[in-house]
Structure 1
Amino acid sequence: MSKIEWTEKTWNPITGCTKVTAGCKNCYAENIAKRFWRGRCFNDVEFHKERLNEPLKRKKPTMYFVNSMSDLFHENISFKQIDQIFCVMVQADWHTYQILTKRAKRMVDYFHSYNGFILSRGIWLGVSIENQAAVLNRIPSLLKAPAATRFLSIEPCLERIDLFPFIGNSTLTAGARWLLTKTDNKIDWVIVGCESGPQRRPCKIEWIENIIAQCQDANVPVFVKQISVDGKVIKDIAQFPKHLQIREYPKNKIGE
């Protein structure tokens, strides 16, 4: 099983990646590759056809993080190769698949290459967010993707982030006396956490609290992955301050 708190198992039909944003600076996957890849460079992006059938062999419904060691929509991976990965997800539809990308525009290009592409409810699409610029650059593309569940991974959280208008409440006025508060959630789930590792950058507790408050105001499930207290990364939820002990999921997880 995976050590990543918000998933159950990883599936890596692609490995290797290249850095595209500030969030990539201290990439955990690159650090793993340096320890175990025996000379292969992390920026050597490979498609592993022999790994495609792993979800088909596992009959127990499982939540898979797809490509924890890469990015499904990396420019070195062809649309035909991406097709093969989605084909397995569609066939092994008793699982839930969590896909995260920093290449949101290429993700949209992929889906737009098909007419009427609709994903099953067990395939979740998400983007990684590290700062306000990423909110503005990636979330609009995510909203164009044909997913039943869209999510954000705000890790590492490198600054105070405002998710409006992508989650939040809007007030509609009808005449002088009548107000209607309308929840228009475009994002279905938010993961938030500090950076880990020896060269981690700071993440203030207030930034985490701010994300939680925005999600709670909009009734969006939020998952607090890890926090920094006095310079130490804490992953054990039992050691979090009580008000940060929140690990929620969207409702449409396969098997529920």
Structure 2
Amino acid sequence: MPDTKQHVWNPWHGCRKISPGCRNCYVFRIDHQHGRNPEAIGRTASFALPVLRRRDGRYRIPPGERLFTCLSSDFFLEEADAWRDEAWALIRMRSDLRFFLVTKRIDRFTVALPPDWGEGWPHVTVATTVEDQPRADSRLPVFSVLPIRHKVIFCEPLLGPLDLSPHLKGLRPHSVVVGGESGPGARPCHYDHVLAIRDQCLRAGVGFSFRQTGAVFVKDGRTYRLPRPLQGSQARKAAIDTAPAPDTGPL
């Protein structure tokens, strides 16, 4: 991984499940473990994190670093509409940082989009998740026409065979990232499905990264159950990436 430091910025917390990839959501699991309601959506105490300063006036997060945004929610969640203008304003102010947004609600991308967004701010990358074929076929046509400079497709958790070929040529994302599902009740990630997506990316001239195996990994007819610390390292050992892994956030 590059040396640039990574940070997580959760301006709000809480979400609602909207598709099969949400079934084993880690936010819901962690909230339930702590007796919290994961569907109680609210601003967090770290809302202003990007612009917080030290006593000497310097930003707490120095220029050039990365902020993975809304990992405990969805940036385009309906219940966050009232706060998104302010969040966009903070992102605009810190054009010296690199923001990474991942969403399952790409159809809501243009809700309250900043007036100066144009073809996209150069310091913002947007990724949409497509965990199965219905999600790919509904989300990627929307994603393809949106004014975003840096686009990434997340096939995570990968829940079955996935044909991205009809979408890759017109979309031309920076890369496609594939990963299995982690945590209790994880559904299997099949290596054959991972390789098939890699081949589609090679044919389309799109970068590919295998991010993690997931907790239940099926390869050559054998099922492997992997603890969390090994899921990323085993994916890297496969050595099937066709481009450097993009900035996709902590495993």
TM-score, normalised relative to structure 1: 0.79
2:211 is paired with a residue of what secondary structure? Answer: strand
What is the aligned partner in structure 2 of residue 71 from structure 1?
Answer: 74
1:43-82 matches, within 5 Å, as 43-48=39-44, 50-56=45-51, 57-78=60-81, 80-82=82-84
Among 217, 225, 232, the residue aligned to 1:232: 225
Q: Rate the CA distance shift 1:197–1:247 in 2: closer, same or farther, 3 A.
A: farther
Over 3 Å counting, the alpha-carbon distance change for 1:239 and 1:98 in structure 2 is: closer
Asked if 1:167 corresponds to 2:165, the answer is: no
| TM-score normalised over the length of structure 2 | 0.80
The correspondence of residues 70-219 of structure 1 with structure 2, limited to 5 A, is: 70-78=73-81, 80-111=82-113, 114=115, 117-168=118-169, 185-219=171-205
- Greater displacement, 9-18 / 218-227: 218-227
- Distance, in Å, in 2 between the alignment partners of 1:155 and 1:120 is 25
1:43-70 alpha-carbon deviations (Å, 9 max, x no partner): 011123x423312331142222100000
Identity, % of aligned positions: 24
- How far apart in 1 are the matches of 2:196 and 2:33? 36
Determine if contact 1:158/1:203 at 8 Å carries over to the other structure: yes
- Could you tell me how far apart the structure 1 residues matched to 2:75 and 2:209 are? 23
Deviations 1:103-138 (A, max 9, x none): 111113443x85864421110111111101001111
Structure 2 vs 1, CA of residues 239 and 96 (structure 1 numbering), >3 Å: closer, same or farther?
closer
The residue matched to 2:30 in structure 1 has which SS? helix
User: In the aligned structure 2, how far is the partner of 1:247 from the partner of 1:70?
Assistant: 29
Matched to 1:190, the amino acid is V
Shift of the alpha carbon at 1:90? 1.3
CA distance in 2, matches of 1:161, 1:53: 38
Residues 123 and 218 of structure 1: CA distance in aligned 2, closer, same or farther (over 3 Å): same
Distance 1:197 1:116 in 2: 37
State whether residues 156 and 194 of structure 1, in contact with CA within 8 Å, keep that contact through their aligned partners in structure 2: yes
> How many residues are paired up?
226
**Is it true that 1:25 corresponds to 2:23 in the alignment?**
yes
